[in-house]
Amino acid sequence: MHLSLLSSDPERLGLPSGSHLERLVHCRASHAMSMKARQLGQATHEDSEAAQQGTRIHETLHTGNLEELGPEERELAEDLRRQELDLLSEWKRDSTVQERREERFYLRREGHLFPIFTGQPDLVFSQGNRALIIDRKLGRRQVSAPSENWQLRAYAVLLAQADPGLEEITVAIQSPFFKYQPAIYGCEELDQFHRLILTVLASLSDPGEPMIGSWCTFCPGSMICPARSKERNQLAIPVQELPSGTDAARLLEMVARVEAVCDQIKAHYKAQLETDSSCVPGWRLQSSSRRWIPHPEQAFERLIEQFSVSEFLECTSVSVSELERAWASKNNVPTAQARVRFSRYMGDCIAEKRVAPSLRQTTNQHSI
């Protein structure tokens, strides 16, 4: 194995990584299951639209060229950039800060050349024997707080191994949707996490049965996992009487996981049908076209002799969020205050209607 491969393609080497540690701690089998799913071309959650958006925003934050993003993504990126500056100015004690962006770190067993674990934090700042790790989360799903987040613990261990002079590592999560309190780890905690990571890695060759729980959400092996398959079968058994209380929470978690696998199965065959339209007998992709007017002013010019302004406007719809964004930017209103201030300014020009509530899980306490 050539050393240059390590920096170019850690996934292909099959190294477990920091972003998977939370799942590995709870389900050791997920590593082998993910590798097998990749070999079969049935890995899930690795190329979703949300993952692609995250990559786009991360990349532009790295290059600093936010112009490549659409208005909504640019707003998210600007928010994250502001949070980074705030966090850094609170954390640093003077202006001499060393910065590493998107650097990949590796963990090796003592005396061994090849790594057994890897991780790539978004941002690392260091100052003397202290460091700050920032991980950006762009999803709308709340993750574990930094004080109990295994991904951040993994990054802290990887950094401490790469830089043994560090005695204190602060870990923080930035998110446009949730606020997370940073956590500070000292040498003792880092040693403890290091030992646990080695124990988890040592058990991957004999991982036992897959263990279902909230950590399954982004598992690449979910389509081929026998435990998830068993769960789907359980759900197929007609439920005589729907349970209540904790059992209801458990059942809803199961329904959500089964739905997620079904979505992934559909996405898998959709991708296959895109390349070979006859590969699944009796199924085909059906597309429909959408029409829209990208430049309303041009359309109005075209119709000006037949339509008055109000007749034309009656046929248009205005995006409240886009108008609000434009208004906030014209009036230098911070994003966090834009909604309230714009609503107050517009008064009854904005209509509001409650939409049907959707089911949302708030905690994962009832995982099997």
Residues contributing to the site for ligand SF4 (CB under 6 A)? 23, 27, 29-30, 33, 210-212, 215-216, 219, 221-222, 225, 227-228
CB of 50 to ligand SF4, least distance (A): 18
CB of 259 to ligand SF4, least distance (A): 14
Residue among 135, 145, 205, 208 nearest 179 (CA): 145
Residue placing its CB nearer to ligand SF4 in the complex, 62 or 141 = 141
Residue whose tokens read 């998830």: 228
CB of 39 to ligand SF4, least distance (A): 15
Residue placing its CB nearer to ligand SF4 in the complex, 33 or 69 = 33
Distance in angstroms (rounded) separating the CA atoms of residues 74 and 67:
8
Residue placing its CB nearer to ligand SF4 in the complex, 39 or 240 = 39
Residue placing its CB nearer to ligand SF4 in the complex, 46 or 102 = 46
Cβ atoms of 131 and 163 closer than 8 Å = yes
Residue placing its CB nearer to ligand SF4 in the complex, 183 or 219 = 219
Q: Which residues pair with 101 in a beta bridge?
A: 123
Distance in angstroms (rounded) separating the CA atoms of residues 21 and 150:
6
CB of 236 to ligand SF4, least distance (A): 18
Distance in angstroms (rounded) separating the CA atoms of residues 171 and 82:
17
Distance in angstroms (rounded) separating the CA atoms of residues 194 and 190:
6
Sign of CA dihedral 301, 303, 309, 314: negative
CB of 261 to ligand SF4, least distance (A): 8
CB of 38 to ligand SF4, least distance (A): 13
Residue placing its CB nearer to ligand SF4 in the complex, 101 or 250 = 250
Sign of CA dihedral 277, 282, 285, 291: positive
**CA-based end-to-end distance of the chain:** 40
Residue placing its CB nearer to ligand SF4 in the complex, 21 or 172 = 21
CB of 362 to ligand SF4, least distance (A): 21
98-101 vs 123-127, strand pairing mode? antiparallel
Residue placing its CB nearer to ligand SF4 in the complex, 6 or 251 = 251
Residue placing its CB nearer to ligand SF4 in the complex, 211 or 323 = 211
CB of 216 to ligand SF4, least distance (A): 3
Contacting residues for 28 by C-beta, under 8 A, at least 6 apart: 200, 203, 204, 207, 208, 211
Cβ atoms of 228 and 216 closer than 8 Å = yes
∠ CA 315-319-306, nearest 5°, is 20
Using CA atoms, how far residue 277 sits from 118, 131, 272, 283, 288, in Å, is: 39, 53, 8, 8, 16
CB of 364 to ligand SF4, least distance (A): 13
Which two structure tokens, joined as six digits, stand for 85? 């500056």
